[in-house]
Amino acid sequence: MKTSALPPARLLIISLIIILNSIAYSVHAQQQQYANAYTFWDFGQDADDVQNVEQNIWIAKPAISTQWVMTWAWVADPAHGGYLGFNTDAGGKGQALFSLWNATAAAGGNCQQFGGEGTGWSCRMPFEIKTDVFYQLRLSLTKSEADGVWWSAWIVENPGSEAPQEHVLGEIKVATGMNTIRANSINDFSEYYGQTQEKCSAVPLSILGVMPPAANKDESGNYAHTSKLNGSSNPQQNPCKTGDESQGALFKVENYTFGNAEGALIFLGGTGSDHILPGDIQVPSGTE
């Protein structure tokens, strides 16, 4: 697996995600710092016209106070964008969430503004995270108005099955210029944002499987843009190297084949010996 330094625009987006979680968690305890890992995807050139994107993910092993999201940046504003995925609280209760920075309005059952370091809107819903299914993260530009554009997000459970379950998270409005996504800004991000641990090897282990995202799906179900894995964060750049340090987390990102798709597994937390897919964890069906 090729490791990469994080480009400045992506670093800012991920920093904003971390800050939002820090604000939410700081009421109760100080957050573990630098406990995260990510993957990059390569859509090739001439792919900065993305107006819908889909990605299948598998949360093989959840953990408390952890999130697993797809993030992206706008063509017109590479320093901002949004994220879509899941997280858990300190008790392990899950939720699905969809957030955009610098948004001006939202519509949905549970959407609210956020502030602090960066402002925007977020739509969330309680969600029982299952380990024996794939979830499809689906994002699409759905409406254009004179003063802005609306993006909608869905979670689709068992997307490859005969009876997929679709969950609508909501719609969020941003400025008119935020109508396309930079394809190569799309990445996946795992983070433990819970209480500080005395040793970083005590960060709870989570395992995330990610398949290559694809973009600009037409009415026939064909994608204009597909992607391939293009590296990940570098464990040597994380402050947690032996497991005895107070900050960061041990992690590993490895290539993994899901059916015909070349994806990755992100092992975050635990010890180095934990960074292998246990024999009792089976990849869900529907990977072809």
Among 27, 12, 32, 10, which residue's Cα sits nearest to residue 238?
A: 32
Distance between CA atoms of residues 144 and 230, nearest Å: 32
Output the pLDDT for position 115: 85
Which are the contacts of 278, defined by CB distance < 8 A and separation ≥ 6? none
Examine residue 141 and state whether it is found in any structural domain, yes or no.
Answer: yes
pLDDT tens for the chain, 288 residues long, are 666 655 655 555 555 565 556 445 444 468 999 999 999 999 999 999 999 999 999 999 999 999 999 999 999 999 999 999 999 999 999 999 999 999 999 999 899 999 876 899 999 999 999 999 999 999 999 999 999 999 999 999 999 899 999 999 999 999 999 999 999 999 999 999 999 999 999 999 999 999 999 999 999 999 999 999 999 999 999 999 999 999 999 999 999 999 999 999 999 999 999 999 999 999 998 765
Examine residue 283 and state whether it is found in any structural domain, yes or no.
Answer: no
Examine residue 265 and state whether it is found in any structural domain, yes or no.
Answer: yes
**What domain range includes position 206?**
8-274
Among 234, 235, 223, 229, which residue's Cα sits nearest to residue 258?
A: 229
Report the domain count for the chain. Answer: 1
Examine residue 284 and state whether it is found in any structural domain, yes or no.
Answer: no
Examine residue 288 and state whether it is found in any structural domain, yes or no.
Answer: no
- What's the helix, strand, coil split of the chain in %, to 5? 10, 45, 45
φ and ψ at residue 79, rounded to 5 degrees: -85, -5
Note whether 75 and 142 are within 8 A (CB).
Answer: no
Output the pLDDT for position 17: 62
Examine residue 280 and state whether it is found in any structural domain, yes or no.
Answer: no
| 235 backbone φψ class: left, alpha, beta (φ>0; ψ -120 to 50) | alpha
Output the pLDDT for position 23: 46
Among 41, 49, 45, which residue's Cα sits nearest to residue 216?
A: 49
Examine residue 2 and state whether it is found in any structural domain, yes or no.
Answer: no
CA dihedral (231, 235, 236, 237) positive or negative: positive
Output the pLDDT for position 20: 57
- In angstroms, the Cα distances linking 26 to 31, 190, 195, 203 are 7, 19, 9, 17
List the CATH number of the domain containing 183.
2.60.120
Output the pLDDT for position 182: 97
Output the pLDDT for position 288: 53
pTM, two decimal places: 0.91
Examine residue 82 and state whether it is found in any structural domain, yes or no.
Answer: yes
